[in-house]
Structure 1
Amino acid sequence: MATTSTIYLPAEIRLMVVGHLLADDAYDANDRGMHERQRDLWNLCLVSFGWYEAAIKALYVAPQLWRGNKFTLFMKTVCPSRAIQNQQRRGHIRTPDFGSWVEDLNMSRLVHQSSNSQTARLLGNVKKSLTSFTAPQMGIAVNCLGIIAKCQRLKHLDMSLVPGSVFGFPRLKQLVHKLPELQTLHLPRSMALTRTTQEDGRWPSKLSTMSLGGSMDAELMLDFEWPPSLSRLVLRHCISFDTPVMEDLLSHDHLCTHLQALTLGRSNLEMFENGMGSEILYELQQLTYLKLPWDLLPYLFMVPPNVPDVADEEGELPILPLRVLEITKEYFSDHDAELDFSFALSRALDENLRNLLALGIERSCRPLLESRFQELDVKIWDHVSSIPDSELMNSGIDDLGIYFIEEDPE
């Protein structure tokens, strides 16, 4: 008679398997990849009690809440009702503190599932280990800010979906002031930037990445108080973002000397609508990464124009420190059809973009470069070959040459 035997694996091996699932790049950041990781971790929990002990904490690290009734079940587990808690006490039942295992709480896909009080209660139960929080579009109010301020390990805070009318910029800065570990902040898309006072607090010293939107006053941006460690700036969903506002924002002394990465989104309104270009990017002394719609390059003089006040005596543009350029589909529906973009870009690689080591393009932009795709790639790799290996290793650039990027839905 055939018998079966269980193969024993030490706890260390089981933990290594779980750690591999958490770190595996195959589980990318999109919905499907994260859902597959959760499914695999759940299946491990069902194998045996030993596997349950190894995988259960990992299952709660980054919960996926937007499918079916998952949010309701998650709330019942992490935030049990008083009746359930009383039953557990009477029965001397000890349950784990599931909320203390949550590190990444993403509520961006929730619509009507959560209320203001539920969100506040949930944040209160996960605050111990929370390092990343993405707020929902609905179900969040001023009462949640005080609880977020208690998440002392928080590194990434995304409030981009929250309506700007829920709370003002000074109140949000008061919250951020209390988060010493914060590194990334996405402000509400429709929030109006206003002046703040010393009573609103200072920016966290580790805050290096910000995403802005909403309305901006040109005069305010001239002396806006930027975080001292800010090096990456994303500008999306900006209202009335014309050339004067853009120049007043980017010409700030701190950005001119510290900004290393800049993203200009297609969702910004009124960019270059009057046809007025700007050489403001040439004032950003540390800018090594730029992402923007391809048809904005001529307006920013990123491809060689015939502009005497920008070009030098020989007619060439100054050399930019740019290492990585990523271009997305066009901003204008009626862009200049006469512009030979691939030719202009090829010239730029010999002139102002001669430091460029990587060019990322959306697949929809491929036809723009088709006629000179190989030529452009060769020129970029010539740039790469001229850089010492030690400098390349320290550059932090993952892809060299021409590569494709995912379309940004914004």
Structure 2
Amino acid sequence: MALDQQRNWTISMAESLQAVKNKTAANKDPSLDQSSLFPVRDDDPKSHNYRATEPAYLPNELVLDILEYVAISAEAQKSLYTCCLLTRQWLMAALPYLYAYPKIYGKNYEPFCRTICPSINLRIKESPLAGLVKVLNLGMLVHHSSKSVTARVLRRTEGSLEEFVAPQASFALNSYAALSKSHNLRSLDLSLVSEAQPLDMLFKSLRSLNHLERLRFPRSSGFGSNTVNPDSIIWPQALKDLHISGGIDANFLYGIVHFPPALERLTIEHCPQAKSHAIRQLLSTLSRAHLPLKALSLSHMPRLGSSSLDPVLGLFPGLEELSVSVDYITPAIFNPDFQEWQSEDTPNFLDHKLRMLSFTNSGNPGVDDKFSPIDVLLTLDEGSFPSLRRVKIAKSLGWDRGETRDETEALIDRLQELGTKDYDNKTGVYASMSTQQWKTADWKDWAGVWIID
């Protein structure tokens, strides 16, 4: 409704044409009551028996402040559409907010496409509204579109697009040309794409995206494709958040000899073809690059062994967040003497920067007893990981049930005790806060154990 410009135009033209016909008939027959020949609209003041008044005028600055508040609400699209119906001033001010972050779903996707792409040929008819779209999230679409329509919408919005989430079934090779021209793109999410995507085409499209900061691989990437040429693996220089998934194999992992210099977050998951030696080589290369990596997440790689990722904390002494499946680690992950992978320096866990540790479950049987809260508690008592305050545990590991629950309570008390000291001394996460932020902060939000699904 909010994005159906063509339908509103058709209805208005039909009503105007009918009014002209009625007026012509009234001129030919003066005995007819002209007022009864015109259709009564719902927005006509006469149909509601109230006196019409001029709308109150507000300065443009105040209107924009109101719209900025409306745009972040849960029902932003409906509210912004209503604002467009008030006056011409509100219409011109609300349109950029309405089309900047459109909420696309099955029923309104076709009207949205007709508005953005009134003609297949851009040179015949273009829509000025296409240049207002900044975020295009097609993640809720499955079979509501075609590959050609997705490519056409991307071509029309490529000049202003900053974030894009690809649909599941209607994204294909013909969309890469438009993606490569979206020079303002900051976030590209292909994780929902079901069709196998060639990695060489993906990297070729990424070369011109100098502002791209976040990239999520499709889970289908690499399946059935030829070997990737290592020379074609060129990352955008501004990339900070990288999510690798799909059918990547040893050839791809060994081919990565460098990473984007600004990389801060790396996620490797849902890679059924990745083997232990390839993942080790990738992480070792990443460790030697001395990047500003702060967060690392590793899960759902069925070919990894039960202790394949034990040395991961020793490789990244500056890591602040680690999420790892217990399927691939043992309590030796906390042992600084365990150094199967050779690094430049001997790991010193007494100065490690780790603040948050998450244990997940990739679904393998018999892993719920590999770790216990006592393992983490003993590590803290030894003085290792002095900044660790938050521990997240998958619910399937059972830390909140049976005898393990008492151990979890003891770990919570220890973490909250350390968190209280941080708050009183304004250290840890509170060191970078302003005085006002520090006074209003709740230390319970920064220390403890959380059970996650």
TM-score range, shorter chain: 0.7 to 0.9
| CA-to-aligned-CA distance 1:264-315 (integer Å, 9 cap, x gap) | 23x3323434x5552133111331121234x3585273446xx95459xxxx
Asked if residue 12 in structure 1 is aligned to residue 12 in structure 2, the reply is no
Match of 1:235 among 268, 287, 293: 268
Alignment equivalent of 1:187, drawn from 202, 207, 217: 217
What CA distance in whole angstroms lies between the structure 2 residues aligned with 1:164 and 1:73? 26
**Aligned counterpart for 1:284 among listed residues 286, 293, 316:** 316
1:400 aligns with: 446
- In 2, the alpha carbon distance for the partners of 1:373 and 1:150 equals 50
Which of 376, 382, 387 is the aligned partner of 1:345?
376
Within-5 A mapping of 1:55-70: 55-67=94-106, 69-70=107-108
- CA distance in 1 between partners of 2:332 and 2:187 (Å): 34
Say whether the 8 Å CA contact 1:280–1:300 is kept in structure 2.
no
CA RMSD of aligned residues (A): 3.6
Q: Distance in 2 between matches of 1:55 and 1:152?
A: 26
The alpha-carbon distance between structure 1 residues 142 and 2, as it changes in their structure 2 partners (threshold 3 A), is closer
Q: 1:2 to 1:125 in 2, by over 3 A?
A: closer
Q: 1:346-385: CA deviations, max 9, x gaps?
A: 2223333212244455677771534542333223443564
Matched, 1:177 2:223: no
- Deviation per CA, 1:213-238, whole angstroms, max 9, x where unpaired? 12344465345132232221111211
The one-letter amino acid paired with 1:63 is: P
Q: TM-score, normalised by structure 2?
A: 0.72
- Paired with 1:106 and 1:129, the residues of 2 have a C-alpha distance of 14
| SS at structure 1 position matched to 2:211 | coil
Counterpart among 237, 252, 270 of residue 303 in structure 2: 270
CA contact (8 A) 2:159 2:182 kept: yes
Amino acid at match of 2:67: V
CA contact (8 A) 1:256 1:283 kept: no
**Does the 8 Å CA contact 1:282/1:318 hold for their aligned counterparts?**
no
Name the structure 2 match of 1:142: 173
What per-residue deviation string (whole Å, max 9, x for no partner) do you get for residues 181-212 of structure 1?
111111121223943354x4732211121111
Distance 1:201 1:250, change over 3 A: closer
Could you say if the C-alpha distance between residues 66 and 158 of structure 1 is closer, same or farther in structure 2, counting changes exceeding 3 Å? same
Residue 180 (structure 1) shift: 1.3
Q: 1:348 to 1:38 in 2, by over 3 A?
A: farther
TM-score by length of 1: 0.78
Assess if the C-alpha contact under 8 Å between 1:355 and 1:383 holds in 2: no
CA distance, structure 2, for counterparts of residue 363 and residue 15 of structure 1: 45
CA distance in 1 between counterparts of 2:127 and 2:386 reads 57
Q: How does 1:9-408 map to 2 (within 5 A)?
A: 9-22=58-71, 24=72, 27=73, 33=74, 36-67=75-106, 69-81=107-119, 97-163=128-194, 165-166=196-197, 168-192=198-222, 194-196=227-229, 198=231, 200=232, 202-218=234-250, 220-225=252-257, 226-253=259-286, 257-258=290-291, 259-265=293-299, 267-273=300-306, 275=307, 278-293=310-325, 295=326, 298-299=329-330, 301-303=332-334, 309=338, 319-328=351-360, 331-337=363-369, 339=371, 341-350=372-381, 351-360=383-392, 367=400, 369-383=408-422, 385=425, 387=427, 391-393=431-433, 400-402=446-448, 407=453
The residue type equivalent to 2:200 in the other structure is P
Cα distance in structure 1, aligned partners of 2:370 and 2:134: 51
- In structure 2, the CA distance between the partners of 1:332 and 1:373, relative to structure 1 (3 Å rule), is farther
List gaps (5 residues or longer) in structure 2: 1-48, 341-347
CA distance 1:380–1:359, change in 2 (3 Å):
farther
Report the AA paired with residue 131 of structure 1.
E
Q: What are structure 1's unaligned runs of at least 5 residues?
A: 28-32, 90-94
1:177 maps to a residue whose letter is: R
Give 3-state SS (helix, strand or coil) of 1:172's partner: helix
Secondary structure in 1 matching 2:448: strand
Mapped to 1, the partners of 2:59 and 2:240 lie a distance apart of 42
**Bigger shift: residues 171-180 or 348-357:** 348-357
Say if 1:299 and 1:65 are closer, same or farther in 2 by CA, change over 3 A.
same
What amino acid maps onto 1:233 in structure 2? L
State the identity as a percent.
Answer: 26
Would the alpha carbon gap of residues 256 and 164 (structure 1) be closer, same or farther in structure 2, given more than 3 Å must change? farther
Contact 2:266-2:296 at 8 Å conserved across structures: yes
For the 8 Å contact 2:269–2:298, the answer to whether it is kept is yes
Q: 2:221–2:247: 8 Å Cα contact kept in structure 1?
A: yes
